[in-house]
Structure 1
Amino acid sequence: MRGLEIRFDKKKLNKILFGLILLLNIGFIFAITGFAIEQTYPSNVTIRAFQVIRDTYDGSTSNFTGLSESMLRDMPSVVLENTSHGRIDFNENLDLVTMAGGDLIVNFDIDLNISDNLINLQNSNLPGINKSANISLYGITYSVPLIYHDAVLCTNCVFISYSSNIYKFSTPSLSGVYYLRETPSSTTCGNGVCESGETSSTCPADCATSPPGGGGGGGGGTITPTTPTTPTTPTTPPGYDFKIDPNFIQLQMEKGTYYQKFVNVTNNGTNPLTITISITGLENFIFPEVLQFSLSPGESKNLRLDIYVSSARPADVYIGKIFFRSSQLTKEANVILQVKEADALFDIRTEMLKKYIPPGGRVRANISLINKGDLRNFDVHLEYKIIDFNQNVYTIKKEDFAIEQYYNNVFFLDLPSNISIGDYLFYSQVSYKNVSASSYDTFVVEEISAISWFILMIIIIIAAYLIYRYYKEKKLKHQFEFTKKSKKYEKESRKLSKQIPNEVPKLPDDLE
C-alpha cells in the first residue's frame, strides 16, 4: 500500500512540473514577441519589439517611441517632416501595428520619401497609409504651380496655400508620387521660339519641319526619307552662344520609380539669353523644374529634370529630345529612357559590332537573350529595327525561334542608301505572349567625304608599297644567302678536288 502511495505522489509531482515548464515557456514567448493576449478591448501593454524607422525625418515629426499598443493601432495627428524639403500632416488616424506587418517594423525612410519637390510613397509596404493628408513642399519657386500625381494632373488634390516658397495642398488618399510643375505659358506663334504646344504644322514659322519617315510595325521592309540630308550648323548671330552638358542622356529605370537629372546650361556668349525648354517624345516622363530662364554672359544654371515612370507604363525603350531654344539659336539633347520590369521574364542585350556605318551599309548587332523563367524550349518573337531620335523607323525585321535558357546570335539590317547622317538606335524586343523585354545600342551614320576617300587610298597605296618592299627585301635577302652558300659550297668543292689525285694508282701485277 505504501508503495502505491509513493507512485501516486511521483505522478502528481510530474504533472505539476510539466505545468510549470509549460507556463514558463508561454511567458517566455510573450516576453520575446511583445504580443499580449487578444481580448475584447485594446491592450495597454507596450509593444517593446515594435519599431518605426524615421532617421531622415526631423522637425515636427511625431514621436513613435514608448507608446502602447492601443495608441499605435489608432494614432492621431501623425506628422512626417523633412525640414529641407517638405511635410505630411495626416488628417486621419493611422494603424501603425497593421502597417508594420509581421516584422513589427514601419520603415518610413525607405517606403516614404520626401525630397526636393517630391513625395514618393510605396503603398504596398505601408498598408493602410492611404488616408487623407495635407502635403507641404518647401523651396518651390514656380509662379503658378500645377499638382501632379503619378505623372498626371491631380484632379482630386485641393490647393490650400502658397507663400514663402511653401506650397500646401491636400489629397483625400495618400498614394504614389506627388510633385509640382510650372503652368505652361500661352504660346505665341511667330516669336522665333518653338514653344511647348507648338508644332511644325500649327506654327511652321517657329518650329522646323519634322524629318520624314516614321511609324513602327509592319512585316519588314524599309522606310526612307524622301530627301537625304546632312546636318548643317546654323548661322549664329555674333555674341550669342550657349553650351548644354550633357547633350546625350541615357537612363534606365524600373516602373514606378522616380529620378532627378541635372543638365548644366552655360551662356558662352557676350549677350544675355532667355532660354525656353520643350520636350518631344518623353513629355509623359520628363518634367523640367522651369520652362524658361535667363542667363547673363558667363552665367550657368543647373536645370533639374524630374523623371518619373508610372507603374502603368509598359516596359520598353523610349526616345525623345530636350530642346533649348532662344530667339537666336536652338540646341538639343538626345534622351533614351529604358523602362524595365522589376521581375522580368527575359533579359535582353544588344551590342553593336561596329559603331560607325556609312549610308547604305550593313548594321550588325549581337543580341543575347536570357530566359529567367522555368519554362524551356518555347518559341519567342524577336523584332529588331533602326530608329532615330525623332522616332522614325527605317528598317525592321521580325523572327521567331525556340529558346531554352540562353540564346545568342548576330543579326543585321541594311541601311537605306539615302539615310540622313546622324545618331541612330539598333532596337530589339523579345516577346512571349503578353510578356516582353527590350534593349538597344547606339551607332552613327556618317558619310566618307572625298578627302577621306583620298586619304584612305593614300594609306592603302602606302601599305601596299610597304608590303611590296618587305617581301622584295626578304626575297633579295634569301637570294643573297643562297648565293653566299653556293659560293661557299663551290669553294669547298674546289679545295676537295685539289686533294683528289688526277690518276688512280695502278694495282700491282700480282693483284691484277
Structure 2
Amino acid sequence: MKKSVIFLFLLLLIPNITAVRVITGDIITGDTVTGKATNQPTDVSIWVTAIPPDLNITSPKNQTYIDNESLLINYTSDHSVSEWYSLDGSNNISLIGSVFFNTTSGSHILYLYANNSDGIESQENVSFFINLTKFIIYYDEYRGVYRGGSTDFYKHSYIELQNLSKVVLENTNYGKILFNNAVNLTDDRVFDNILNLDNNTHISLNRIELDSSELPNFNQQATLWLYNLSFSNPRILRNGDICPSNICVKESYSNGILRFNVTGFSVYSAEETPSGDTGGGGGVAGEVVITPTAIYRIIYQFYPFKLDKGFLIIKLREGESLNEFISIENPGNYSLDIEVKCPNIESFASIDQEFFKLNSDENKVVKMNISAIDRNVGSYSGKIIINGTRIFESVPVIIEVMPKKSYLDILFNMEEEIPKDKLLEFTLDLSDKEGVPLMDIIFNYSIIDKDGRVIFSEEEDFVIDKKLTIGRKIRLPRDTALGDYYFYGKLNYRNLTDLVSSQFRVVEFEKPFLSRTLWSIELFYLILVPSLLLIAILLYLINKFSRDRNSGK
C-alpha cells in the first residue's frame, strides 16, 4: 500500500513540473521502478534540470546591408522571460519584441541574450556589414505619406535585393504596381550601383508609367491598380491607344478602382468605353483601330502645350525660401485639364495650384515655393511633371542648398559646351579665408544627366595650405548622348560643406577649319586622280580605235 501511495504521488507530481524541466530517475537500490505494486522497499531520487532559452536571430542576416538606419532586429525565443541585445559589445538594451536600430558603416556584430525564470542564459550572435555606396536606390516617391504598401528596399540586404519577391510601388492617391515575379533590382540598364525609381517610374491620376528601356529588370508581368477613376465602364490604354488583349487583361472595376494585369511595361491609363464596346483590353494585333484617343492624338500631335523652361537649377542657402515660376501655354484648339506635380522634391517644393483648366491659346504661370528650412547642404534632383489630357511633359529640377557660412573662397570654371568624345575640363581655385594652413578637404564630384542619372563620379582628398588650384580633365562615357548635363561637386572640411556646380551641354563634334580644309583637299584628289586616269584610258582607247580604223583603210 505504501508503494502505491508513492507511485500515485509521482503521477500527481509530474504534470505540475513545467515544460522547461526534465525529470531524471536514478536507481538507488538497484531495482527498476516499473509502476506495479510491490512489497519491496524502493527509493526514488528526482532531479529537475532547467532547459536554456531557445534563441534564433532572423534579422539582420550575415549579409551586407546598404543602409545604416532603421535596421530591424527580429528573433524568436522559447522558454525565456526576458531578452536583451548588445551591438559590438556596447551597453545592453532590453527587448520587448522586434525593434529598429541605427548604426554606422562597416562591420558589426549583434549579440542577443535571453534568460529563463531560473536565471539560465542563452546567447546568439550574427555578423553583418554596412556599405552605403554598394548600391543606392532613389525611391522617395514611394517613401512618403502616400507610400501605402510600397516595398521598403533599404530594409533588405544586398543579396535579397537581387531576388526580391512581391515588389510593390504604390501611391495611395493614384494607383499601385505589384510585380508578379521576383525582381533583381541591381540589374538595370547601366551597371552603376544606382537604381533611380523616382525618375523612371511615375504613378499619377489615371496614369502608371515605367521606362522599360532604363529598367529592363522591371519589364515583366505585373498587376496594376488605377485609383479614383470616374468612368462607368473603363477600358485600358497603352501609350494612349487601346491595349491589345494579349498584353492587358482587365480583372475588375469597382468604386473607381480599375485592376488589370499586363505582360510588360510602358504607359498605362484608361478611358470610358464607347457604347457597344465591352471594355477591357480591346484591340487585336495588326488591326487598325480608329478610336477617340487616336483622333485626339492626330489633332494634338503638333500642338502639345509649351513650357518656358527645359532644365531648372535653383540655388538657395540653408534656411532660405524663394519662389520659382514656370509658364505653361496651350497653343492647341481645345482646352486641357492640367495637373502639375513635383515628385522627389515634394519636401522642398509646393505648387500653388496643382489642378486647373487651360483653354485654347491660354497661358498660365504656375508658382512653386522652394524652402530650404531644416535642410542639409547638398544637391537634390527631381522633376516638375505636367499632365494634360494624355499629353505629358517634364522639366528636370536640381535644387542646391548652399551653406550659411563658408571658410573658403571658391572660384570654379568649366566650359559651357563640350564636343562629344572630347575631354571635359575644369579648374577649381580655393583659398582659406582665415589663412589656416594644412586644411584637409574631401572633394566628391559627379556628372548628372537631365533625368537625374549619375554618369560619372569621383572622390579626391587633398590638403590646402592657404591656397590651392587644381585642374582636371574628365573623359565622359562613350554612350553619352548630346544634350544638357549638370556638374555637381561637394567639398567637405572642418565638419562643413561647400558646393560647386555648373551646367554644360554636350554638342556634336565639329572638325577645325584646317582639318575640314585638308579633308576637302584629300577628297578633291581622291576624286580627281581616278577621274584623270579614267579620261586618259578613254583617250587612249579612242586614239587606238582611230588608228586601227585608218589602218584598215
Q: Structure 1 length normalisation: TM-score?
A: 0.44
**More strand, by proportion:** 2
Give the structure, 1 or 2, with the largest relative contact order (CA under 8 Å, sep 6 or more): 1
Query: Which protein is bigger by CA-based radius of gyration?
Result: 1
Comparing both structures, which one devotes a greater share of its residues to helix? 1
**How high is the TM-score relative to the length of structure 2?**
0.41
